[in-house]
Amino acid sequence: MTANVAATPAVAVSGLTKHFGRVRAVDDVTLDIPAGGVYGLLGPNGSGKTTLLAMLAGFIRPTAGAITLLGQTGPAGQQAARRQMGALIERPTFWPYLSCRDNLKCLQGIYASDGGDTEIADLLATVNLDGDAAQRKFRACSTGMKQRLGIAAALLGSPSLLILDEPTNGLDPAGIVEVRQLIRTLAGDGRRTVILASHLLNEVEQVCDLVGVMARGRLRYSGPVSAMGAPAQVFVRTTDDDRAVALLRSAGWDIAAQSGDGLEIAATPGREWEISRDLAGAGVYIAELRAMGGALEAGFMEVTGEPEGDTP
C-alpha cells in the first residue's frame, strides 16, 4: 500500500499540549499526517497516544497548540471537518438493550447520515456482523463483536478521516486478520486517511506506511516504517545450513548471522516463503523458520527505551 502524499495534510498539529493537573499527557507535539493511507501510532503505557487522538476527535480540549483537520482551522472549521471524521477511541459504548442493527440505526439519526438501511446492511457485512449477529442485543455480544460494531459506527457517513484506537482489542486471531484487511481496504484507494493506534508492532508494520512513536507525552519519531531500525529478519534452521548459506547468498539473500543453531536472514515481512522456495529447489529443506525482531521493534526500542511488552 502506498500513502498518497497530498499538498494539504489530513491532520496537522503544532505545539499540541494537554495537562491534567501536573501531568503533561501530551507535550508540545508537532505532527503532519498526509492525506490517504494508514498512519500508525505507537507508544508505551502513558505515552499520550489516546489523549492525542481524543484531542483530534474533539473529545477533550488541548491546553495549548493548534490543530488543523482536513485543511480546516479554528472552532468552526474543525467542527465542519469532524463531520467528515469517524472515531473509535477506547471501548465502544452502545445502548445495551438494542440490537447491533438498531444501535447503528439510532446513531445514523444522531449523525444525520442519509445512507438508510442500505448503509447499515453494508456496514454490518463489512465488519462481519450481518445475519443473526445483526439482531443480537449489544449486552449479549462478545468483546470482539462489540469492537467490530464500534468500527461500523465509526464508518457511518463514509468519513474521509478515520481514527481507530486499538481496533483489534478483544478479537481472536482470525478477527485480527479480518480487521487488518479491512483497514487496508478502507484506505486503499487513497481517498480516506486512517490513523491507527496499536500496541501490536507487527500489526503496524503490516498495515501502515508511516508511523509515529510517542513516549512520555512527546513525539519521538514520525516517518516511514521502513526507516526505523534494522531490516526485518527471520531465523532459519535447515537440513544443511552450510549449503543453505551458499545457495541463499547466490540467490541474493543477506545472511545476517550464522551459528550452530541456524541462520539469521534479512527478509521483508511476507517474503519468508521465498526462502523455502529457493532452498527446496536445490534439495535443502527447512526444519524451523520463525520471525525475529525487525525494523519496527528495533526502532521502537531505540526511540523509547521500552521493550515491546511495555506498550499499551
- Read off φ and ψ for residue 17, nearest 5 degrees: -140, 140
pLDDT in tens, the chain (312 residues): 444 444 689 999 999 999 999 999 999 999 999 999 999 998 877 889 999 999 999 999 999 999 999 999 988 999 999 999 999 998 888 999 999 999 999 999 888 888 899 999 999 999 999 999 999 999 999 888 999 999 999 999 999 999 999 898 778 888 888 888 888 888 877 789 999 998 778 788 888 889 999 989 999 999 988 777 656 678 899 999 999 999 999 988 988 888 888 988 887 666 778 888 899 888 999 988 887 655 566 667 767 766 554 433
HSE-CB of 108 using CA atoms within 13 angstroms: 18
Residues 149/102, Cβ–Cβ less than 8 Å: no
Report d(CA 63, CA 165) in Å as an integer. 22
Q: What is the CATH number of domain 233-293?
A: 3.30.70
Q: Which of 198, 197, 193, 222 is nearest to 210 (CA)?
A: 222
Q: What are the residues whose beta carbons fall under 8 Å from the beta carbon of 26, sequence distance 6 or more?
A: 16, 17, 18, 48, 51, 52, 55, 62, 217
Q: What is the CATH number of domain 1-84+159-229+294-312?
A: 3.40.50.300
- pTM, whole model, 2 decimals? 0.76
Rg of the chain over all Cα atoms, to the nearest angstrom = 22
If you search the block for the grid coordinates 521483508, which residue do you land on?
A: 268
Residue spans per domain, the chain: 1-84+159-229+294-312, 233-293
